[in-house]
Chain A
């Protein structure tokens, strides 16, 4: 699958990545090459093969319903780019 500059723009938007206009052809070329590599997968028949999402065949462990965390807001917000009144600030969200 050869990706066009338009494809790159669409994907970059979906991933919320700013890509400079001049870099788009380079990304299109690289991604197309990577997809060509990836598509070698199609050389093998996988009909009926159970997909493998985890390397170990185990099931989810459950934890007891206990409150174990205490308020660390001040600690966590020390590293935040912008806060006020204990809230994280972002440019206005239009509903």
Chain B
């Protein structure tokens, strides 16, 4: 898909994500809107993965380390045809397979995640196995910025550089907010680019909502032969709905009927533009 087509699709994806969260009365709204454009580009433009090849050992792998933003991933997978969209109206309900964090019980989901700091180590294992097999598989993960305080991520970063895993791409969803406050208040992450470079990764910074920039960035992987790639995606928590943007209340917030209507209207206007 072209950048324009992806951007148009993103409005519908955001609306659907909000609808399922609203219906479930549960979910991680801000983070899901924050990573939506990244997932849209990965699944609809970059990665070699589809419902047709999902049992092919040589498909690309996406593991969502920030598992709590699962609603965005469910929405993108449904849109991609991994399962019917109406299934998502059971999100977080009793006996639904669409539970509050990623599980392999859902078609298209590669890995159970939820507790933070688990995704990157598993991706290192995937990338290592792919290298051993010369399979050409590329491995992607999205990490939260608050999650970067987990020590296991830095263990995995050392490992990926040591083993020269240039088939691995980690993406930082850098909206600068976490559940309690800003990253700067909770646990300072800056200068993150320098830290990642010092750990032996090739790093690029990008606007995580700019489709041309995202496509260009992902199409230039690996950024450097023999090095794992880190994309620092500058994002906005709650992106796309004005009253949700940059407000930590929407980390785990669920819209009321009135707020949902306001959000629908905002997105409708964007669609018409």
Please indicate whether A and B come from the same complex rather than being unrelated chains: no
Binding site for A on B (CB under 8 A): none
